[in-house]
Structure 1
């Protein structure tokens, strides 16, 4: 019989860890407090509609995520819409689209063809990209993204229309505090990657269906136990095993079980709570991670309402009531959501503090102005969703913990663990895979 291993947390990291552990021969029990798997990237229901708690863009470079999706029966070619790397604003604004040419030719052609940038902007971007490639997309000493851009003489237009939106979208942290090295890692796999790796992948299904639901079915079919609706409120060491105590309807009210190992795949804050009585120093370290929210404003229009392409960047000017940074036409991704737009506000603390109706009205007015379509100011229905702990603040010099805790048989998995990526789906999956391999060296590659 294989090792008994509990995976606490059914987000993308936990699902990845569980799948890999089962493939390595372990007896796995997966606990998730919510009834829906996916963690901070999951399906939600609102007014009879199936939505996500946030809109995500994946990259073609997300190799581990794409491999595990295939492993559990999800075919990425059908599950996501692949579009070339781009940063496009509404008609009349900047337009940067990488053609489907071999790298780095695709980037050079995109820059030459870009609209809304001056010759000085293009030279500055080319010089920065060339220098970043030459230095291996990494600094010897981390600094903020703002300092990085100043050091390499990026123009105000480039910062406003390209680098700041990319930083907010990828790191969910303002450039003034965001880690330059993490930002460079993202640029390496977008601007600096092979052409297919730089493609942007837009989910055609809700986020739970994209991987976690299929992972749960795969786990059940391979002998694992999945408890969705079971909150683990205590883990304790006992005579060489780990006792895991869970509460919830999925476990008949309360259940305590013994395991050989535990993979703690919750958020940093939830992990800190569970670790408080086991390792106070590690718990304090995790508790120090500063959460950053992301707000998604859903706006429902008539079924015939469409944008010229699946998504656009938006210029956000909060002091003028323009909060939106990107807008997605969900109807172009899922036919059943025709007329539904999703507007994203990253690092959304100030926006989330507004009354929801006020924020939705401001975002609708922003769309009407940006696209020159007055009707967009009057959606038939709106829903504002704020994930208060969507990510951690990915600050320069942030000390992220390893998967191995130092306590025998207890491992961490999550997008906050040590790695070169920010809090993304790929970082969560990579961390889950790494935790599984640390727990069970016999785990195969994804």
Structure 2
């Protein structure tokens, strides 16, 4: 069993102490991991040339067991991309901002409400409180440049604006931008993005069923991360298994995958009962594949009044909430400049 806990020391001492005290790694592996992080710090977490995470780990002598237990799960959790395909520089950006600055930056935050309540509902409330309008069930069918303005065509009519931020998923954004000849390069960049899946298996057990911790990672299992929704959000007995990036789980039917997760919960935690129900959500294009030297579209398009927001746009981060928020802030700063 591998575990790592950072003490309450100033960064980066908390990380050094965590690596040196990690359970499940030999002393040699712990020293290799610590030396690797110190080397990254000396480099300023910048590479002269991007490469795959696997290549970077090999350069710094991170052996197979250390990679499998520590770096590979970290890479998949952060980039949702396997180490043989993932950008080392983007991973270093994440390590720089989460492990190298202040101790609190590496804290794990688990929301007690769903993401709809956490982000979009609050954002909509903010807009309305400041005199704006939020239109739902009003999908944009076309983006039409009109001189210096941008017109949006919807089923219920057209609206004209000085600036438009297209914050749709990349495939939807590409469909809206494709008719605009000036944005051919942007569309080509979006079309060139490969994608990685995320599978989530929900299992409803009796309310007394719970995991030893609200969140757990499993080693050499289909289930990569387990979440106890009872401990997190009061949904007692509801467990969620998250499987990130491509893998052999994609070859299984949804019922087969659920049965694999049920068996793992029984073997790992002694949960002998059968869940009342299960549901598998397979997001086959959940995130872009975060490859080295990836060309991602800029927030500012070739049309001055049209901008793009989303985690797939240009930035330091992979496909994450943080990356999406940063892109939105960048759009706002471009409009207000």
TM range (shorter): over 0.9
Unaligned runs of at least 5 residues, structure 1: 1-92, 248-253, 317-321, 442-446
Q: TM-score, with normalisation over the residues of structure 1?
A: 0.73
Of 286-295 and 175-184, the range deviating more from structure 2: 286-295
User: Which residue in the other structure is 1:16 paired with?
Assistant: none
Q: Answer whether contact 1:293 1:349 (CA < 8 A) is retained.
A: no
Structure 1 runs (4+) deviating above 3 angstroms are none
Which deviations, in whole Å up to 9, do the C-alpha atoms of 1:16-49 show, x marking residues without a partner?
Answer: xxxxxxxxxxxxxxxxxxxxxxxxxxxxxxxxxx
Selected match of 1:359 from 243, 257, 272: 257
For residues 20-31 of structure 1, what are the structure 2 equivalents within 5 Å? none
Of 343-352 and 178-187, the range deviating more from structure 2: 343-352
Question: Does the alignment pair 1:419 with 2:312?
Answer: no
Unaligned runs of at least 5 residues, structure 2: none
Measured in 2, the distance between the counterparts of 1:188 and 1:347 equals: 23
Selected match of 1:330 from 214, 223, 229: 229
User: Which residue in the other structure is 2:296 paired with?
Assistant: 400
* SS across alignment from 1:201: coil
For residues 361-380 of structure 1, what are the structure 2 equivalents within 5 Å? 361-371=259-269, 373-375=270-272, 378-380=274-276
Query: What is the CA-CA distance between 1:374 and the residue it aligns to?
Result: 4.6
Q: Answer whether contact 1:189 1:197 (CA < 8 A) is retained.
A: yes
Question: Does the alignment pair 1:258 with 2:160?
Answer: yes
* SS across alignment from 2:203: strand
Which deviations, in whole Å up to 9, do the C-alpha atoms of 1:146-197 show, x marking residues without a partner?
Answer: 0011010102121111111111111111000100000111112233231111
- Paired residues in the alignment total 335
User: Which residue in the other structure is 2:58 paired with?
Assistant: 150
Question: Does the alignment pair 1:340 with 2:238?
Answer: yes
Q: TM-score, with normalisation over the residues of structure 2?
A: 0.95
Measured in 1, the distance between the counterparts of 2:67 and 2:324 equals: 28
> RCO (CA 8 Å, sep 6+): is it higher in 1 or 2?
1
* SS across alignment from 1:96: coil
Query: What is the CA-CA distance between 1:289 and the residue it aligns to?
Result: 0.8
Query: What is the CA-CA distance between 1:345 and the residue it aligns to?
Result: 0.5
Query: What is the CA-CA distance between 1:343 and the residue it aligns to?
Result: 0.6
Which deviations, in whole Å up to 9, do the C-alpha atoms of 1:287-345 show, x marking residues without a partner?
Answer: 111121111111111111111111111124xxxxx42111111111112x111111111
User: Which residue in the other structure is 1:229 paired with?
Assistant: 137
Of 127-136 and 214-223, the range deviating more from structure 2: 214-223
Measured in 1, the distance between the counterparts of 2:65 and 2:336 equals: 50
Query: What is the CA-CA distance between 1:424 and the residue it aligns to?
Result: 0.5
